[in-house]
Amino acid sequence: MSHVNVTLTVNGTEHTVSVHPMARLLDVLRTEVGLTGTKEGCGEGECGACSVFIDGVLTNACLVPVLSASGTTIQTVEGLEGAAETLGPLQQAFIETGGAQCGICTPGMLVAAASLLRRNPDPSDAQIREGLAGNLCRCTGYTRIVESVVDAARRMKEARS
Amino acid sequence: MRGYLPDYELRAPASVDEALETMAQAPGQWRPLAGGTDVMVELAAGKLPPGKFLSIWQLPELRGITLDDDHAILGALTTYSDVRDHAGMAAEYPMLVQAARESGAIAIQNRGTLGGNIVNASPAADSPPALLAYGAQIELASVRGRRWVDYRGFHTGYKQMGRQPDELLTRIRMPRTPGGAGALHDYRKVGTRKAQAISKVCLAALGRLDDGKVAYLRAGVGSVAPVPLDLVKTEAALLGKTLDAATIDAAVAVAEAEVTPIDDIRSTARYRAVVSRNLVRDFLTALAAGETGARVHD
């Protein structure tokens, strides 16, 4: 089957790409749109390294055929608040609290954490663990990541007050 | 190795009618693709047979949860997150909510659909036992018309089901106040961890006592048979009976004889048989003790 044109709005910019309709959104973001922050870990929806927002909804980009995302608005880790030149409170918290080590899970952790904090600005540890249950990390043992999200929630609360 | 994209065709029909027309022109050749949480995993693993797919994800007609006097009606594209976020589901169908909570993690729950869970027909899926226990019916649509069928009996063998090649699963409905007022709802999934893990065994059981006798009982079990299994013999053995120790022992033996688990990568037949027995016993013991409402296992 030949390629089709698919239009996506990614981090505020509209892109029309010519791709196979079954191509994974993950691959389209990385190779056609040129945003390589979204990582591939397992490729089967277990690890969360490819987490993005589609129309505001947390999604594993490895499980989305690009045609199913036609016309949607996508936010990747590069488009998170404060991510372009300055870091937002979430990224800053991950750096200072030790939530990032090797880095492969970090983009997905940040996107999943952002999703959680949008729904629940003051989550408990148990809620953080549930919110990040679909994101695997082989370095940190997760404790520092949970602490980073607690730290981020505190920073965001301070920024609001 | 990942599937080779030129082996696949994917179209996005603009409406359910267009999807049905396409399916009618080449019955059995077009496989509906909803949230992608099963199909795309097969693609990544190189296990997806080449073929034609219809992306139905963006059809609003297949979304939404509504409650009328008789039924809760859920579009086939209702996601686990939709179920979790709906107050009416929590009030009357807590086992379905619990199944949704324990399927995958948030990103999967945002994408995985009830319709997909049914039609993918994995005996290990988490929502079918709850749908069986709640007496669900499913709507199958084709250009020939629409029909409601009982979900019980829909799965006829491993990955075999009573859907015609040109039919699309469009809606699911469950009777209101399932089991009657004062029923006990017990959903329990046993897996390696709370999130992401696929079940070793999961039980959804709904029962109610009247004057100490079993007035209502329906149970579905996952991962213990080639299909999501109804415990029909266990139900028949208990209806109208007083739940004393001997009756519970006998019913547990019937349940153990009803399941036909196998050894696979996630567990063993023996473990599954023992856990099935224990889950049924635990549910019946709680029912006999007068527990009602949704049991919590967190």
pLDDT recorded at residue B214: 97
Rounded to the nearest angstrom, the minimum Cα separation between B138 and chain A is 24
CB contact at 8 A, B277 and B255: yes
3-class SS at B295? coil
Q: Over the stretch A29-66, which tens digit does the pLDDT of each residue have?
A: 999 999 999 999 999 999 999 999 999 999 999 999 99
A45 at the B interface (CB within 8 A)? Answer: yes
Of the three residues B175, B203, B229, the one that is the final residue of a domain is: B175
C-alpha to C-alpha distances, B168 to B24, B71, B247, nearest whole angstrom? 10, 21, 43
B216 at the A interface (CB within 8 A)? Answer: no
Rounded to the nearest angstrom, the minimum Cα separation between B295 and chain A is 20
Contact A45 B104 (CB under 8 A): yes
Are both B89 and B49 inside the same structural domain?
A: no
Q: Which A residues 87-106 touch B at CB under 8 Å?
A: none
Q: Kindly report the average pLDDT of chain B as a whole number.
A: 95
Are both B171 and B104 inside the same structural domain?
A: yes
Nearest CB partner across the interface for B110, out of A20, A59, A62: A59
pLDDT recorded at residue B40: 97
CATH number for position B89: 3.30.465.10
How far is Cα A11 from Cα A17, in angstroms, rounded to an integer? Answer: 15
Are both B165 and B95 inside the same structural domain?
A: yes
Strand partners, A6: A17
Helices (runs of H) and strands (runs of E) counted in chain A: 5, 5
Q: How many domains does chain B have?
A: 3
How far is Cα B86 from Cα A115, in angstroms, rounded to an integer? Answer: 19
Structural domain of B154: 61-175
Helices (H), chain B: 16-25, 39-45, 80-85, 87-92, 94-101, 106-109, 114-120, 127-133, 232-238, 245-258, 269-288
Are both B200 and B155 inside the same structural domain?
A: no
How far is Cα A122 from Cα A133, in angstroms, rounded to an integer? Answer: 17
Q: What is the ipTM of this complex?
A: 0.96
Q: Over the stretch A124-157, which tens digit does the pLDDT of each residue have?
A: 999 999 999 999 999 999 999 999 999 999 999 9
Are both B198 and B273 inside the same structural domain?
A: yes
Q: What is the CA radius of gyration of chain B?
A: 19
CB contact at 8 A, A23 and A66: yes
In this structure, are strands B160-161 and A13-19 parallel, antiparallel, or unpaired?
unpaired
pTM of the full structure: 0.96
In this structure, are strands B168-175 and B8-11 parallel, antiparallel, or unpaired?
unpaired
Query: Domains along chain A?
Result: 4-79 (3.10.20.30), 89-160 (1.10.150.120)
Residue B111: closest C-alpha in chain A: A59
Are both B100 and B51 inside the same structural domain?
A: no
Contact A134 B9 (CB under 8 A): no
Rounded to the nearest angstrom, the minimum Cα separation between B97 and chain A is 15
pLDDT recorded at residue A146: 98
Are both B170 and B69 inside the same structural domain?
A: yes
pLDDT recorded at residue A1: 64
Nearest CB partner across the interface for B5, out of A22, A62, A134: A22
CB contact at 8 A, B170 and B75: yes
Of the three residues B37, B55, B73, the one that is the final residue of a domain is: B55
How far is Cα B209 from Cα B290, in angstroms, rounded to an integer? Answer: 8
The percent of residues in chain B predicted with pLDDT above 90, rounded, is 93
B197 at the A interface (CB within 8 A)? Answer: no
Give me the DSSP letters along A37-101. -SPPSSSSSSS-TTEEEETTEEEEGGG-BGGGGTT-EEE-GGGSTT-SSS--HHHHHHHHHT--S
CATH number for position B26: 3.30.43
How far is Cα A124 from Cα A116, in angstroms, rounded to an integer? Answer: 11
Give the type of residue at B21.
Answer: E
Q: Is the pLDDT of residue B219 over 90?
A: yes
Q: Over the stretch A60-95, which tens digit does the pLDDT of each residue have?
A: 999 999 999 999 999 999 999 775 577 899 999 999
Of the three residues B131, B147, B175, the one that is the final residue of a domain is: B175
Tokens standing for A95?
A: 């750096």
